[in-house]
Structure 1
Amino acid sequence: MKSISSAKLILLQPSPNNKQLPIWTTLSLPSHHRVWLIAFISFLTFASLLTLLTTTSTSSHSPPNPNLSISSAVSTSSSSSSVTPLPSHIFDTLLHYALTANSSSRMDDGDLRAIAAVLRRRAPCNLLIFGLGQETLLWRALNHGGRTVFLDENEYYAAHFEERHPGLEAYDVSYITKVKELPELLAAARSQIKTECRPVQNLLFSDCRLAINDLPNQLYDMAWDVILVDGPRGYHSSSPGRMSAIFTAAVMARSQGAGSAEVLVHDYEREVERVCSEEFLCAENMVGHTDQLAHFVIPRNSAAAAAGEFCVNRTAVPAGSL
């Protein structure tokens, strides 16, 4: 068996005759040179691998660039705060089609215009609406860029709306009241106005009989800018009535945020809506009304609320006379 006295190193270099094509050239190296060459190549490979591992480790464990984090946060904040209201011509077009819709179940023109005027000023805003109906998609569209939440007594109706209109946010409410119980419920609320039925509180933990306290927790932490009470049913003595909706709207309007919230009550000509609005939303806060719609501007952090009262001057009908 012959001993190997030399090794061949294969190099790739340009051909002197044709620069486009490579030619193979071999160099013969002595045996001891071959050992040193292999050692040198192994060292270079190890050094390259060590450098790669060190760089990767440093990159993965180094703290984030604070300037980059701030920049990202500012960018996110700017994008969320840069939401603009619906362009006026689109707003007017939507309102026009709502007003010209041939439906016996929709609101009167004056009521539609009054609510739209509030949304024109406040949108995009946090809008809470009791009741799903003919105008549901209109209110959601006019509050473009804001958060619009609907509450309805019928869980199947709420699920149906959400299924047919992706992105619409609706929750069902289990009302335990009836229209015929108005005197009893009003008397109970007055007797607990300093405790369970306070004007400023987290309703999630309230035992007031008029408080709606089974909504998702996040809704109680929202500063609602506009609240529309257009549900539940209240046209019959055994209907749930809007006592709880109006009380809950009055507390929510006062309990979070600063400035003021606007509350609108539809079907104001009915006894429950009128009496409960005067009791919890207060005559001094009313800024306008039509035959069927009352508009209240509720100041937050008012002196009356701080004193545990809904109204400065109670003008509601005494509970015993209902």
Structure 2
Amino acid sequence: MKGISSTKLILLQPSTIHKQGGNGITTSISILVSHHHRIWLIAFLCFFTFASLLTLLNTTTAVRDPNGLPSSSSSAAAAVTSAGLSSSPPSLLPAPVFDALVNYAASSNSSGKMAEGDLRTIAGVLRRQAPCNLLVFGIGHETPLWRALNHGGRTVFLDENEYYVAHVEGRNPGLEAYDVAYTTKVRELPELLDAARRQRSGECRPVQNLLFSDCRLAINDLPNQLYGVAWDVILIDGPKGHSATAPGRMSAIFTAAVMARSTGRGHVDVLVHDYDREAERVSSAEFLCTENLTAATANLAHFVIRSGPTEEFCDNRTAVASSSSQPARGATASS
């Protein structure tokens, strides 16, 4: 009887449930089915999103090789790289282009241009050194030429006229130039030299950080990062020095001499234009030194300055005194 009673209970349970909540079960099943559909839909969307992101990442990675070039160009890039390593550096200006630029500039009839001999001397230094770190005092007719000949290097120009700096930058996009506030006058040459000699072991010493110098001849208002650059070539063709009230190039020559000895790499080429004028000639003898003079034309002097610690600008002080005592000449030469 217990077995029969148990059987009845088992048979009646579904029926009872059906009678009491048949509609509720149907509704629950529908909701469950709908809920399952939503779960599958959400899962499908998540999978699709993940697959799309994964495909995008794989495509981006595949398109670029380690050098950042398209994978389809990898073999070509490798060939170009191999060719470049076996020949001249890729940033070096081709010799025919270099010569064409120099010849065009030398044959130009523009007023205010540099004499052909001086231009070719400077170009010869850049031919040996470029691409390099080139600092130029003065902006003028040859500015685009110096920048072009130093293709692949860094060329920085300094000028006393901020408006002219802005004008030249506008005509030469990408040109790096800064204005300098000079506080000297050509007529102050004797006074400035005497002060520099008195402070030779102090503020006007040959090796120092010009940014913190109180020497009257030191240019210390340039952008800070320029004082740490290891300059390879320094060309002094400014500021103006054709009259007694012009700024003169005493500060430029002193600053170049200190930069060459303080941050240069081994030996630094320093070229002084308008060397026939007293301020340029005497200041060069005082700070660049005759023992470092390697070549000179009527208007251009080429010094090679050895970098490194030193307590004196020049080894031969007698030569400096002799040069300083020479009479002034070329005071009216073009700036």
**Could you say whether these structures have the same fold, taking a TM-score greater than 0.5 normalized by the shorter chain as the test?**
yes
Letter aligned with residue 146 of structure 1: G
SS in 1 for 2:320: coil
> Which one of the candidate residues 307, 313, 318 is aligned to 1:310?
313
Supply the distance in 2 between the matched residues of 1:309 and 1:271 (Cα, whole angstroms).
22
Letter aligned with residue 137 of structure 2: F
Supply the distance in 2 between the matched residues of 1:212 and 1:228 (Cα, whole angstroms).
15
Supply the distance in 2 between the matched residues of 1:267 and 1:187 (Cα, whole angstroms).
23
Which residue of structure 2 lines up, in the alignment, with residue 15 of structure 1? none
Supply the distance in 2 between the matched residues of 1:171 and 1:254 (Cα, whole angstroms).
22
Q: What's the CA shift string for 1:255-276, capped at 9, x where partnerless? A: 2142221100011111111111
Q: Pairwise mapping of residues 109-120 of structure 1 onto structure 2 (< 5 A)?
A: 109-120=116-127
Cα distance change of structure 1 residues 319 and 267 upon mapping to structure 2, 3 Å threshold: closer
Q: Pairwise mapping of residues 203-282 of structure 1 onto structure 2 (< 5 A)?
A: 203-282=210-289
Cα distance change of structure 1 residues 318 and 237 upon mapping to structure 2, 3 Å threshold: farther
> CA RMSD for the aligned pairs?
3.3
Which residue of structure 1 lines up, in the alignment, with residue 30 of structure 2? 34
SS in 1 for 2:112: coil
Find runs of 4+ consecutive structure 1 residues off by over 6 angstroms. Answer: 48-55
Letter aligned with residue 91 of structure 2: T
Segments of structure 1 that go 5 or more residues without pairing to the other structure are 7-29, 56-67, 73-77
Higher alpha-carbon Rg: 2
Conserved? CA contact 1:227–1:249, under 8 Å: yes
Supply the distance in 2 between the matched residues of 1:71 and 1:163 (Cα, whole angstroms).
34
Is residue 101 of structure 2 the alignment partner of residue 94 of structure 1?
yes
Cα distance change of structure 1 residues 33 and 115 upon mapping to structure 2, 3 Å threshold: same
TM-score (norm 1): 0.76
Conserved? CA contact 1:183–1:319, under 8 Å: no
Supply the distance in 1 between the matched residues of 2:211 and 2:239 (Cα, whole angstroms).
20
More strand by share: 1
> Which one of the candidate residues 126, 149, 153 is aligned to 2:160?
153
Conserved? CA contact 1:275–1:317, under 8 Å: no
Query: Structure 1 residue 169: deviation in Å?
Result: 1.8
* Percent of matched pairs sharing the same residue: 61
Query: Structure 1 residue 252: deviation in Å?
Result: 1.2
**How many residues align structurally?**
278
Query: Structure 1 residue 41: deviation in Å?
Result: 3.3
> Which one of the candidate residues 160, 170, 182 is aligned to 1:163?
170
More helix by share: 2
Segments of structure 2 that go 5 or more residues without pairing to the other structure are 1-21, 52-63, 69-80, 327-335
Cα distance change of structure 1 residues 167 and 185 upon mapping to structure 2, 3 Å threshold: same
- Most deviating of 195-204 and 242-251: 195-204
Cα distance change of structure 1 residues 319 and 93 upon mapping to structure 2, 3 Å threshold: closer
Q: What's the CA shift string for 1:82-109, capped at 9, x where partnerless? A: 6522111111111111111113421111
Letter aligned with residue 38 of structure 1: S
Q: Pairwise mapping of residues 171-210 of structure 1 onto structure 2 (< 5 A)?
A: 171-210=178-217
Supply the distance in 1 between the matched residues of 2:120 and 2:213 (Cα, whole angstroms).
35
Q: What's the CA shift string for 1:213-272, capped at 9, x where partnerless? A: 111111112111111001111122222111001001111112214222110001111111
